[in-house]
Amino acid sequence: MANVSVIGAQWGDEGKGKVVDWLASRADVVVRFQGGHNAGHTLVVGNQTYRLSLLPSGLVRGKLGVIGNGVVVDPEALLAEIARVRAQGLDVSPENLRLADNAILILPLHSAIDRAREAARGERKIGTTGRGIGPAYEDKVARRAIRVADLAEPETLSDKLDELLLHHNTLLAGLGAETFEKQALLDRLLELAPQILPYAEPVWERLDELRRAGRRILFEGAQAVMLDVDHGTYPYVTSSNTVAATAASGAGIGPSAVGFVLGIAKAYTTRVGSGPFPTELTDATGKLLGERGHEFGTVTGRPRRCGWFDATLVRQAVKVAGIQGLVLTKLDVLDGLPELKICTGYEIGGQVVHRLPASPRAQAAARPVYETVPGWSGSSRGARSWAELPAEAVKYVRRIEELVEAPVTLLSTSPERDDTILVRDPFEG
């Protein structure tokens, strides 16, 4: 049996939560491998709706959850999330949640510098959530970050805070923002330590044991390929690599263990925050998609920008991230539209290209080249087999497969977990 890695194939918010929840019933362990609490997954289970940011989705299904070293962890946010889901009746303890002891911590100073820099950008802001994710990753590569294991060593914390504050207070003061006192930060970290450390361990050892024992591992990505810090619409991206290859480095497991790469895409396109969006619709159709799809960010609550399906963008994500199968979500949102459009390329400077270029100016100048296809009058909502779909809906899905050069492995037709059409079980490889 293969492991499975789930990543977004657009700009995030593609419905990964439902898909991971559905797959978690077939997995033994679910691993978060990058990002922070700037992304969220919404899971609808019966009459309960769980909104998760740091906790692996498999916890909802009683599976072991692992937060890998590639995740940047706000300890306050993690404990608050645990308390919130416990209040909903979910059992979370060190028995079913493990945290990499070499994961980086997000501190209040990271959020402060994040917000201050975004405010200083003015009209050029990049749309960060202001939760400190970027600055925490910066400290990681600058080799001055505080890691989970450091919580057990007060002297280490004290020394590292000296270096962090020398750097961040200088920046905060220059931006006209309030600076931080060392003792208050140190006291709070020491207060949090006994609440966080029981979850900590070298998770790479546990994952190696699970792999050798033939357990099914599900790797759960945050954001999406077009928000990847290398391969996305830079600089309007997140601060980590979101492609499936990161599952290996972000969990401490060999690249061969990443398994089947499953990319998630909506049957249309959405984006939260700033940045290029060639197929964006600012008309009544765009508003309709947003209303029908309940398009608001899980973490931020910000309305998502909506547009037609961009096959050029998803095809690029398929190739860059090695996506082997596609999950198409929210097909039912398109029910009743008389015609649909699919972007097959971009016109830039009088030429048609079939990739989104790296240049921000070229990205901003890209105008979609559309192929128009008929819509369908029947309902696809709740369909659990191809036979239950309107004929034109099937044709739409097949055309997407051709254009993105990847097969549709799963098809989601509502937020409900079981309203899913399985074409191929990813765990079968």
Catalytic positions, written as ranges: 13, 41
> Is the torsion defined by CA of 10, 13, 19, 21 positive or negative?
positive
In 10 A of CB 191, how many CB atoms? 10
Q: How far is CA 140 from CA 110, 164, 352, in A?
A: 12, 11, 40
Give the distance, in angstroms, between the CA of residue 423 and the centroid of all CA atoms in the same chain: 24
User: Which two structure tokens, joined as six digits, stand for 295?
Assistant: 């398009």
Nearest to 12 by CA among 212, 300, 322, 334: 300
CA 333/CA 294 separation, integer angstroms: 10
In 10 A of CB 405, how many CB atoms? 13
Half-sphere exposure of 161 (CA within 13 A, CB side): 22
Q: Which helix (H) or strand (E) holds 99?
A: strand 97-100
Give Cβ neighbours of residue 398 (< 8 Å, ≥ 6 apart): none
CB-based contact 67:79 (threshold 8 Å): no
Q: What is the CA radius of gyration of the chain?
A: 22
Nearest to 273 by CA among 134, 128, 131, 115: 128
Strand 367-374 and strand 339-348: pairing? antiparallel
Strand 48-52 and strand 41-45: pairing? antiparallel
Give Cβ neighbours of residue 388 (< 8 Å, ≥ 6 apart): 380, 382
